[in-house]
Amino acid sequence: MLGKTAGGLFWMARLLERAENTSRMIETGQRIALTRAGSGADDWLSVLQAAAVAYGYQQKHAEVLPELAIDWMLRDPDNPSSVMAVITQARHNARLVRTALTHEAWEAVNSFWMLLKEALARKVATRDLPKVLSLIRERNALVRGAILGTMLRNEIYDFIRIGTFIERADNTARILDVKYYVLLPSAAAVGSRLDNVQWDTILRSVSGEGGYRLTIGPDVTPMGIAQFLILDKRMPRSLNFCCAKLRDNLNYLATDYDLRLPCHQQADTLCRRFMTHDVAAIFDYGLHEYVQEVLGHLGKLSHQIEIDYRFYG
Amino acid sequence: MHLAIKHLTHYTYSAPVPYGVQQLRLYPKPTRGQRLISWSVTVEGATQQAEFTDHHRNHVVMFSFDPDVTELIIRSEGVVEMTDTAGIVGPHEGMAPLWLFQRPTDHTRAGKGCREILRSVEGDGNLARLHDLSTRVHAAIAYETGKSEIAWTAEDALAAGHGVCQDHAHVFIACARAMGLPARYVSGYLRMDGQDEQSATHAWAEAHVEGLGWVGFDVSNAISPDTRYVRVATGLDYTEAAPISGHRYGTAAENMDVTLHVTQQQ
Amino acid sequence: MKPHRDRLVATISIAQAPGQGKHDPMDMFDEMQGQNGQIRSPYAKFDAWLSEEDAARLRAKSREAEDLFRLTGITFNVYGRSEAEERLIPFDIIPRIISGREWQRLERGIEQRVRAINAFLHDIYHRQEILRAGRVPQEMIANNVAFLPQMIGMMPPGGVYTHITGIDLVRTGPDDFFVLEDNARTPSGVSYMLENRETMLRMFPELFSRNQVRPVSDYPRNLRRSLAASAPAACEGTPTVAVLTPGIYNSAYYEHAFLADKMGIELVEGHDLRIVDGRVAMRTTRGYQPIDVLYRRVDDDFLDPLNFNPESALGVPGIMDVYRAGGITIANAPGTGISDDKAIYSYMPEIVEFYTGERPILQNVPTWRCNEKESLDYVLAHLSELVVKEVHGSGGYGMLIGPAASKKELKEFERKLRARPGNYIAQPTLSLSTVPVFTKSGLAPRHVDLRPFVLMSPEGINVTPGGLTRVAMKKGSLVVNSSQGGGTKDTWVLED
């Protein structure tokens, strides 16, 4: 396979995942806004932060307003990480790697883009927002389904999965990074209503409310959330889960090519050093420092994959 | 007479070059009055990729840069046996039709400047007219190094009024073609009298004259090539006969140093 | 960057419409209705089916077809517009039907023509016997920018120059086919031929059980086999074939990806390629892998910045050196443009005779070469009846359609013709055949042309039955040009 193609698949998957994450963040923001009084400016700011688009927003707007924040995240042409921009880039990558995709997978991406373009042609009215968000979720699911159901389990598939899990791990780590302070023992001691909302926000932004109840139990605690989002092996958005999948998919490539490269070593290190502790040890070490290091490793790993598999010249 | 030639081209780059290719036309051509006794071309910093004979019957070798090199050294050396032919190269050979050498190229398109020269050209018969043309081009463009550009066309050089051997050859060729005669560019080596070290490779022109075939004209020195001139490559203009041409990726700046010795052995 | 001109959106420039004044509409030949309103036999079964269909269902089908195309992404990019703009080429659901007998003659003519083109190319880059024999004037080649000196004396692997050719045909009567233009560089449109058939099969399966239509779906397999058979001597084992595209913003990118996909080969861009171990090699996830045959959809000028246009970022520096050293096959060979040039076109009958020793089976459109004084006089005297084309132009640039031109335009062209007569040819306006298209108000005749696709390898010539029918969607229009609203149809060749 061409190095360029591997890169295109990797980025297509990352961008699709990113769009889904961003739309989930918007959903979370809406949810908070509905459950409390006040402007919600702080909540929207933290949503923007968790989606890693706050900086650009603040360059453009002085004030955080819900409808501006939503528009920014969905379709503002000045935001290169808006859902519209990201899906356009994902489709661009899909076109680039058209020959590596099945007909179904390509059509799913292409129709996603076409429908989104139509849905986001104008500013989305609040009452239409749920419809647009569910369109994004459904269309992403359709793409994932087409990939799962029609693609051979070969290197093409491996690169798609690697892109997906790197982006997802990055996303979860970022949410933890923005919100780590509400999980600190000092904050837990307060036990206020505000914290409950914050915790709820974290779980919702990874679609983890139900999963949490099933695996950890009915009581939402900082320790429990950290355990669930970082170390749980069944939670498909936990760092542990994503890193394990990353390592697995990289290993499939190593087996397939009969060649172990520096990125394999790095993925092993990531799993061994960061995913084998218990949650208490992580808190002892410092949650913030821990998450920062994980983010740094993910960035390095992504770069190493680019080099090892010759994405660029 | 034997001429021993040592030609070294040393490129240095301001930053590592990720990739690039170099095309070398550095093998003296089989020519009447010119016989290779020995010849070798070695390159450091690049790997040979292809070797072929082009449509002008030049021996071409293409190299690719080794990854991230910061210098490239190209050495060509050997001994050539020379006998005098009074500047006459002889009948046209090879598959390229003679009319090809009547086609103007971007570097050899006759414009206002060339037409002005052509108006004053005199002589009985084409050969005499070509000699006269050579003299007039020599007069129109003062030989001055370091002030012309490699991309100059014949008209650019005429407008500037100065240039190097490349410009002399281009103007001569443009005019000869405008006269309806096939003409071509020659790059090669010249041993300047009384000196072993030469400042650069040389270039001159050839025109095709009925009955004689190709005849050489060194406009820069206002003479016809003799045993001191080693023909290396020919082409419609500089771009086809350049000893070295290349294409690089990346943004590194290039510096080139040439040392050339042409020594008379007997 | 100069736009890479896609030949599909670049050719048609034919003659003028009958019905635009001078011609009697009754002269017009409709391929379904004939000249007298009697359904012609190739269309008999289709007509019977059509008469049982109701318009509402067909309208729905027509919309469905468009949705299908949009979803598949069969679009072309439009130059001069925002880079992301992609447009659909309209698809018409009424097939264009050619009988097996009609096709047989066309096929023989096409084969003969392609064989002659290839022989001409070999000759013109070697001994130039045809010039020595005086059958084509030397200045036609000597003054032609399409002649590529770098190809002199170069024998392409297997002796094949035109691996893929598109021959544009027009029709004026039951037995009258004319070659309008040869496309020997990088003809496009074959993806539409294939997708049009797929769409028809999906929408009207019943039609294909009533009619025995010769399949076109083997084209990608044949193309790959044909390219592989042209591998260079340096090839070891099974030839590696790849498609070279100028990139995702090229107007025909969809087709490049489509063909690579259907052939199961890599789609590469210039920056994926380097010269490694004497071969052109592509950067894969496992390192550089040599390519044996490169089906390039990049024009000559942009192919190699070392040897041609140094500004080109689309090409592969040094690929010509590797080619000349026998390390790769470039398809089509560089320099084939000398054979499909408009000035050379007028000599095609002589060229066919010279190399095949046979009378040309396909006719040329009569052509006045304006560099000949008598012709120029005639052309100037009849300017308002003629189509005048620039010799090296394409895509209808710098063209005059006499009957549709204003007084001012005619004057302007007269001036141009007098200034540079050698730059122009002129042709009569032909009464082009029509085929019905499906419109809101029922069937309506529209002018069509046909581009059959021809593959050539050392093993022989293969013509896909049918080809791409382009149709002018506007009433009376002769512009089948896709950039000006022209559409396409599925083309059927029947097994008689």
Better pLDDT: C17 or A104: A104
Mutate to test the interface with A, among C72, C255, C268, C285 (most CBs of A within 10 A): C285
Q: Cα–Cα distance between C469 and A18 in angstroms, integer?
A: 43
H helical segments located in C229-372 = 253-263, 300-303, 319-324, 337-340, 342-345, 348-356
pLDDT tens sequence across B141-190: 999 988 888 899 999 999 999 999 999 999 999 999 999 999 999 999 99
Q: Do B55 and C152 touch (CB under 8 A)?
A: yes
pLDDT tens sequence across C53-103: 888 899 999 888 888 887 777 766 544 444 445 677 889 999 999 999 999
pLDDT tens over chain A, length 313 residues = 999 999 999 999 999 999 999 998 898 888 777 776 666 777 888 889 888 899 999 999 999 998 999 999 999 999 999 999 999 999 999 999 999 999 999 999 999 999 999 999 999 998 899 999 999 999 999 999 999 999 999 999 999 999 999 999 999 998 888 877 777 766 555 555 556 777 777 888 888 888 888 888 888 888 888 899 999 999 999 999 999 999 999 999 999 999 999 999 999 999 999 998 889 999 899 888 999 999 999 999 999 999 999 999 7
Listed range (A62-76, B231-245, C128-142, C389-403) with the worst mean pLDDT? C389-403
The answer to whether B219 and B169 are in contact (CB under 8 A) is yes
A218 touches chain B (CB under 8 A): no
- From C330, C219, C319, C220, select the one nearest C265 (Cα to Cα): C220
Cα separations in angstroms, B18 against B66, B73, C281, C302, C314:
8, 17, 16, 21, 18
Which chain C residue is nearest to residue A307, measuring alpha carbons? C285
Q: Which two tokens stand for residue C375?
A: 């012709």
Residues of B in contact with C128 (CB under 8 A): 97
pLDDT tens sequence across B13-64: 999 999 999 999 999 998 999 999 999 999 999 999 999 999 999 999 999 9
pLDDT at res. A173: 92
Distance from the Cα of A91 to chain B's closest Cα (Å) equals: 29
Look up the pTM and report it.
0.90
Which one is the CATH code of C369-429: 3.40.190.290, 3.30.565.10, 3.30.1490.270, 3.90.700.10? 3.30.1490.270
Q: Give strand pairing partners of B202.
A: B188
Residues of C in contact with B99 (CB under 8 A): 138, 142
Dihedral (CA of A149, A150, A151, A152) sign: positive
Q: Cα–Cα distance between C385 and C21 in angstroms, integer?
A: 11
pLDDT tens sequence across C18-52: 334 344 444 689 999 987 778 999 999 999 999 99
Q: Do C285 and A3 touch (CB under 8 A)?
A: yes
Distance from the Cα of C127 to chain B's closest Cα (Å) equals: 7
Q: Do C150 and B54 touch (CB under 8 A)?
A: yes
Chains interfacing with C (3 or more CB pairs < 8 Å): A, B
Closest partner CB to C324 (pick from B52, B97, B102): B52
Residues of B in contact with C325 (CB under 8 A): 50-52, 62
Q: Cα–Cα distance between C339 and C348 in angstroms, integer?
A: 9
Closest partner CB to C257 (pick from A99, A110, A259): A99
pLDDT tens sequence across C417-462: 999 998 899 999 888 899 999 988 889 999 999 999 999 999 999 9
3-class state of residue A288 by DSSP: helix
The answer to whether A82 and A73 are in contact (CB under 8 A) is yes
pLDDT at res. C5: 33
Q: Which residue has the tokens 């009376």?
A: C476
Residue-range domain boundaries for chain A? 1-151, 161-313
Domains of chain B: 2-82+244-264 (2.60.40.2250), 88-241 (3.10.620.30)
The chain-wide mean pLDDT, for chain C, equals 88
Cα separations in angstroms, A52 against A18, A45, A83, B100, C370:
10, 10, 12, 63, 67
Return residues 4-43 of B near C (CB < 8 Å). Answer: 19-21, 23
Report the relative pairing of strands C363-364 and C176-183 from DSSP bridges: parallel
Residue-range domain boundaries for chain C? 25-365+430-493, 369-429
Q: Which two tokens stand for residue B122?
A: 């005199």
Q: Do C321 and B96 touch (CB under 8 A)?
A: no
- At residue B89's C-alpha, the angle toward residues B84 and B93, to 5°, is 145
